Amino acid sequence: MLVHYQQYIPLVIAFVLVGGVVGGMLILNAILGPKRRTSAKGAPFECGNQPSGDSRHRFSVKFYLVGIFFIVFDIEAVFLFPWAVNFRGFLGDAAWAAVTFVEIFLFVGILALGLVYVWKKGALEWE
């Protein structure tokens, strides 16, 4: 029965060592770290800019829509790059090259239809 668990011993040792290092660093920081509290350290950090206005400011929904559209079309590029790299391997077999070419045109076509739909709905318009 112990034979099956022997393969996990290095993993357990690694977890124990990592936990010890993390715990040791936290304890050393609590003991040796500076304890000077100031109002500047307690203030929220906003990318180096002075805080202005209320933190509960509402953004337009269009701001979030543009962010979502960016992510969707960025993911499209993530799928296009591996296809383009692997397409060279399919060029020796004309049938597979044609199939993968049709597949990628369908993929890009569906995304293009989505972009046209979003554009026609006016979701990309800033007012």
Domain assignment present for 42: no
pLDDT of amino acid 46: 65
Total-model pTM = 0.47
Domain assignment present for 117: yes
Domain assignment present for 40: no
**Whether residue 69 is found in the same domain as residue 108:** yes
Q: What is the pLDDT along the chain (127 residues), one digit of tens a residue?
A: 556 788 889 999 999 999 999 999 999 999 998 888 888 777 777 676 666 777 677 777 777 887 888 888 888 888 888 887 777 666 667 777 778 788 888 988 998 898 899 889 887 777 6
Query: In Å, what is the CA distance from 9 to each residue of 13, 14, 21, 44, 69?
Result: 6, 9, 18, 44, 46
**Whether residue 23 is found in the same domain as residue 69:** no
Per-residue tokens: 59: 């953004």
Domain assignment present for 53: no
Domain assignment present for 41: no
- What domain range is 79 assigned to? 61-121
Number of domain units in the chain:
2
Domain assignment present for 55: no
